Amino acid sequence: MKSRLRIIIALCGFMLIVFNKVSAQNFTDVIVHDPMMIKQGDTYFLFCTGRGISVFSSKDLKDWKKEKPVFDTPPLWAVEAVPTFKGHIWAPDISFHNGLYYLYYSVSAFGKNTSCIGVATNKTLDPTDSNFKWIDHGKVIQSVPGRDLWNAIDPNLSYDENQQPWLTFGSFWSGMKLVKMDASLTEVAQPEEWYTISKRDRSFKQDDYNPGEAAVEAPFIFKKNGYYYLFVSFDYCCKGVESTYKVVVGRSKSIKGPFLDKEGIKMDEGGGSLLIEGNKDWNGVGHNSAYTFDGKDYFVSHAYDANDDGKPKLIIREMAWDGEKWPIISW
């Protein structure tokens, strides 16, 4: 009996060592903000905030090659819609449907809800392919100060059980929105159907970027285990080692919500169970996405490297699940 116990303990120790090696292998020195990922063939492509939308490629999730940005020049419609826009595009979202890659992206005036979400398509992500060409379809959604109490940035496209497309988005203000899309994926469906799926109470001022404890943004919906999991980022990014970003999660049987956290609190009433936050080495973990590649679930985000002047870097972690079907991320 004792020998069996020793064997079990040894095996558990070995598994823990292996798990830690697997979990730790995908910290990178790639400087990114708001990373979103997709796999075409044997190549992973990463899209993130940057001038013209930054793009990276990798064969192994470790070594990343910088590719040309999506846009050589700022889209004219975006310059007209957001007068302060100079080509630095935020928080893209990439997905593949009906033979095309759809890339949603954000243009905005920092700290204001003068914002738009646009979309571009491509037949391939391989820049050496003769069919490689980004076609911009312009504005999908716009938020206007004084008119809207929501912010049109941080898009993420999802599908419900009937293959109906939905776009979730939002930052601060009145929270994360979900809107039904039409089959073209370039326009909001008519008649319009909107939901608020996450928010935190705040004392509201139209142009106030400092909502105190009410900061929430970067929604991402991941379907798994019979649930729609909603990840959002609480608190503040973009402050280097002073960043307080953290990722919380809730889930729902319906893409429309309500999304509940582990305590049963609705995310549109301030709920959200903590999934991961910064530590002494990595500050402000947030703006995540989640994927299944080759049978493994991954959590992708940026975090600020406390040992390298707070530079924002790519973090890729394998995502496990507990007995209650909640995601687990280990440092």
The pLDDT averaged over each successive group of 10 residues in the chain (331 residues) is: 42 39 57 97 98 97 96 95 92 97 94 93 98 98 92 97 97 94 97 97 55 83 98 94 96 98 97 96 96 97 96 96 96 79
Q: What pLDDT does residue 79 have? A: 94
Task: Report d(CA 60, CA 172) in Å as an integer.
Answer: 35
Q: What sign for the dihedral angle of Cα 35, 39, 42, 45?
A: negative
- Residues ≥6 apart with Cβ < 8 Å to 80: none
Could you identify the residue written with the tokens 């992708």?
300
Q: Where are the domains of the chain?
A: 28-328
Q: What pLDDT does residue 25 have? A: 45
For the domain 28-328, what is the CATH code?
2.115.10.20
- Residues ≥6 apart with Cβ < 8 Å to 106: 89, 90, 91, 92, 115, 116, 117, 118, 152, 153, 154, 155
- Hey, how many other C-beta atoms are within 10 angstroms of the C-beta on 286? 31
- Active-site residue list: 34, 217
DSSP per-residue codes, 251-271: EESSTT---B-TTS-BGGGT-
In the chain, alpha helices (H) = 2-24, 76-81
Tokens standing for 308? 């390298």
Could you identify the residue written with the tokens 């979900």?
178
Beta bridge partners of 116: 107, 142
CA-CA distances (angstroms) from residue 74 to 46, 85, 119, 161, 165? 20, 8, 13, 36, 27
Q: What pLDDT does residue 6 have? A: 45
Max Cα distance, the chain (Å): 75
Q: What pLDDT does residue 111 have? A: 78
Residue type for 91, please?
A
Q: What are phi and psi of 254, to 5 degrees?
A: -120, 140
Q: Is 10 in a helix, a strand, or coil?
A: helix
Q: Is 25 in a helix, a strand, or coil?
A: coil
Of the candidates 110, 166, 101, the residue with the CA atom closest to the CA atom of residue 137 = 101
Q: Are strands 311-318 and 88-97 parallel, antiparallel or unpaired?
A: unpaired
For the stretch 7-65, pLDDT in tens is 333 434 433 333 333 343 466 789 999 999 999 999 999 999 999 999 999 999 999 99
Expressed in percent and rounded to 5, the helix, strand and coil fractions of the chain are: 10, 45, 45
Print burial letters for 200-226: b (CB count within 10 Å at least 16), e (below 16): bebeeeeeeeebeebbbbbbbbbeeee
Q: What pLDDT does residue 112 have? A: 86
pTM metric for this prediction: 0.90
